[in-house]
Every structure is written in C-alpha cells, then in structure tokens.
Amino acid sequence: MEYLVVYDVDTTTPAGERRLRQVAKVCEGYGLRVQKSVFEMTCMPAQLPRLRQTLTDIIDKTRDNVRLYRLQEGTLNSVERLGIAELAPHRGDHIL
C-alpha cells in the first residue's frame, strides 16, 4: 500500500517543537521524507493502525493537523516533480 502522510504541527511552543520531532521520527520508521512535513510510505495494511495510533498519541488534537492519503499502487514512482524534487527510492514494503 502506498500512502502519503502530510502534517502541520503547531510549533509555537517548545512542546510543539518536540511533537514535530516525534511525528517526523515516527514517520521515518514507515517511509521516506520527501519534504519537510511530507512522507511517502509503502507499508503493509497491518501497519496502518499502529501508525495512526502512534501519531494520535503524539499530536495535540486541538492544534496539530495530520492527513493520510491512500495512493494508487505506482503513484510514488510516477509523481510529478518540479525543481529539486526527486523520486524517492522506495523498495517495496518498508520493514519496521
């Protein structure tokens, strides 16, 4: 399964800065960072609930914004890129 995870974490407080780092760190376990707050993921269906739960536990539900887009298989290898954007070197399902 291919997913795109994007987030806006409110970093106006030190706690927010910490949440931002935690969200990024969790996402690094599931996929590849392609922008500051955008991760591409190739993962197994069984991994999704844990990712969702972990992110839910980290974020401030009244301040932070996380969106998970399910992509059609093959999207990540054909994403349109402008400027310095590059294809991310995914290699099948990411193993945690």
Residues binding a second copy (CB under 8 A)? 4, 6-8, 34-38, 52, 55-56, 59-72, 75, 78-85
Residue (13 or 56) nearer to a second copy, CB: 56
Q: Is the separation of the CB atoms in 41 and 94 below 8 Å? A: yes
| Residue 8 counted as an annotated binding residue | yes
Residue (70 or 96) nearer to a second copy, CB: 70
Three-state secondary-structure class, residue 35: strand
Helix axes 14-28, 48-58, angle to 10 degrees: 170
Running DSSP on this structure, what letter comes out for residue 42?
Answer: E
Positions at the binding site: 8
Positions at the binding site for Mg(2+): 8
